[in-house]
Structure 1
Amino acid sequence: MKNFILLAEGVEGASPTGSWIMIIAQVAILGLLLYFMMIRPQKKQQKQMETLLSTLGKGDSVLTSSGFYGVVIDVMEEVVIVEFGNNKNCRIPMKKSAVVEIEKAKTE
């Protein structure tokens, strides 16, 4: 109990600049925590998605963000033409970013 009283007395006589240093240190620690817990994993996931989309090719089976499965017919810079269902007339151009999963075409 005496230790706590001594600590409390020491805090009263502390300089006000010490408290500012502690606040700055806490904000810096929170900033680093935010970076390593949220921003860094998001950038890592974004990089994985970019490499996934760069491997997209003709004949690959894809899952779109809207939940449709289809086969890639043509790949352009930002647009992919996807054929949906058994009906070969259903070809829809979509952005590459709408593709969520890719299953590579089997080479025979």
Structure 2
Amino acid sequence: MNFLVFLQTNAAPASTGGNWSFLIMMGLIFVVMYFFMIRPQQKKQKELAKFRNSLAKGDKVITMGGIYGVIVEVKEQYVLVEVDNNVKLRVDKGSIVKDSSDIQAAGK
């Protein structure tokens, strides 16, 4: 007698829930990515835009290039920054990164 016939079993039916679990997992990954990556970046961009729109004469600022200065004049697209005595630079508002008082406050 051949015992291999008894060891042979029927294959389990294919699971149909596999597609749904894959879609649920992909949805969860997207939700986690949104809350940990996309949403904080949008919040930072809003804060930076608010800061750039509130620039005023006399504010101490830092440019993207690392130049420290004081705002002398504010226009629609650019600001005039004094970096030394009688040395003024016209800088695009988009390249103003921070207020130097924020850095001084963080250092204390």
Q: What is the match of residue 4 of structure 1?
A: none
Q: What is the match of residue 97 of structure 2?
A: 100
Q: What is the match of residue 7 of structure 2?
A: none
Higher RCO, 1 or 2 (CA under 8 Å, sep at least 6)?
Answer: 1
Q: Is the 1:56–1:102 contact (alpha carbons within 8 Å) kept by the matching residues of 2? A: no
Percent pairwise identity: 34
Unaligned runs of at least 5 residues, structure 1 = 1-11
Q: Quick one: distance in 2 between partners of 1:24 and 1:63?
A: 46
Deviations 1:61-107 (A, max 9, x none): 1111111111111111121111112x21x211111121112258xxx
Q: Number of matched residues?
A: 90
State yes or no: 1:41 paired with 2:40. yes
The residue correspondences of 1:1-108 to structure 2 (distance < 5 A) are 12-16=12-16, 18-85=17-84, 87-88=85-86, 90-102=87-99
Taking structure 2 as the reference length, what is the TM-score of the superposition?
Answer: 0.75
Unaligned runs of at least 5 residues, structure 2 = 1-11, 102-108
Deviations 1:8-47 (A, max 9, x none): xxxx43533x100011001100100110010000000001
Following TM superposition, the consecutive aligned residue runs of length 4 or more in structure 1 with deviations greater than 2 angstroms are 12-16
* RMSD after superposition: 1.6
Structure number with bigger Rg: 2
Q: Is the 1:62–1:102 contact (alpha carbons within 8 Å) kept by the matching residues of 2? A: yes
